[in-house]
Amino acid sequence: MDKVHTILVIVNRGYNIWGEFLQKNRLSTNSEPIGTLAIDFSRTSFMEPHHLVSLACLIEEYHLAGITIKFNPSYNTKFNKYLDDIKFCEYWNPGFNRNNFTRGKISTTLCLWKVSEEMIDSYANQAQQYFEQNYFSGEKDLVALSISLKEVFNNIFNHADSPVDGYVLTQYYPQRGNGEIVTAVCDFGLGIPTKINNYLAANGYEKLKEDKALEQAFTLHFSSKSTPQNKGLGLPNLMSNVESLRGDLHVYSNHACLNHACSKGSEFYVTNKSFSGTLINVNLKTQYLPQSEEIIDDAEFIF
């Protein structure tokens, strides 16, 4: 009989504690063969986008190893409905196309999406159009959302070297403050500090402490990989967009973290909990969106 391995999901709002939970439950920590992975939501009643995308990467790691995925529901029916609305538990069903992106049953959320390099521009542009038309009557310009999405997606394919493709979730919270759009993206790649230090070592430079390596990644025109269109501009562009909307940005990669808040500026620091990959959470404040100069047709998301 196939062994069933159960992961009990208990959410903690601290990024480093959540990262430790992910690390402890990676496939590599299991010494015995597993036939089925059971994700147990019974003690969970709420998850933020950054929890869901990183959990999706964890599940994907088991899925790629040929392990069957099943879910034990929460005792909270509202949370179960939320998971159903974003199609979270459908992603690992046989035949489900995880490369497509869809609009969720809850209109404020775009469904969980496995990032596809060929569809980066399409997703980012349609996400921009969808929120502009459905929540701001075409009067606000969300180009900052589109640019932010493209930058974090390109970071995965240009720098992550991840065997597990990244996952993204975008949600609008109209009741938070004066309105917030939160996007979370995660991959299980090398991590930004490791990638930066590998590049420095290969070019004869001394390696940096992980917080300094992460800070280097946000330095204009620095790149650990040449790209024809956007060398050294991706993460600085992301920071610029967040700052323009007085938003918040959190990055957790290896032992390094970045907290950027409009009221406090940027803080790069080292945590004692390592995360093998990169988790990025972008919070844009919609009250600071610029006025739109052009009204466009509603985006056509797949249902």
Q: What is the mean pLDDT of the chain?
A: 85
pLDDT at residue 49 tops 70: yes
pLDDT at residue 155 tops 80: no
pLDDT at 131: 87
In a domain, 34, yes or no: yes
pLDDT at residue 300 tops 50: no
- Between 245 and 231, where is the model more confident? 245
Q: Region 32-49: what's the mean pLDDT?
A: 94
pLDDT tens track for 188-229: 988 999 999 999 999 999 999 999 999 998 885 555 554 444
Q: Region 138-165: what's the mean pLDDT?
A: 81
pLDDT band at 98 (very low <50, low <70, confident <90, very high): confident
Least confident span in 16-25, 39-48, 69-78:
16-25
In a domain, 278, yes or no: yes
Task: CATH number of the domain at 32, please.
Answer: 3.30.565.10
Q: Region 104-133: what's the mean pLDDT?
A: 84
Q: Which two tokens stand for residue 290?
A: 């610029």
In a domain, 302, yes or no: no
Q: Which two tokens stand for residue 35?
A: 């036939």
**Whether the Cβ atoms of residue 236 and residue 220 lie closer than 8 Å to each other:** yes
In a domain, 303, yes or no: no
Q: Against a cut of 0.85, is the pTM above it?
A: yes
In a domain, 114, yes or no: yes
Give me the number of domains the chain comprises: 1
pLDDT at 248: 93
In a domain, 111, yes or no: yes
**Whether the Cβ atoms of residue 155 and residue 183 lie closer than 8 Å to each other:** no
In a domain, 22, yes or no: yes
In a domain, 56, yes or no: yes
Residue 165, domain extent: 4-288
Q: Region 266-293: what's the mean pLDDT?
A: 89
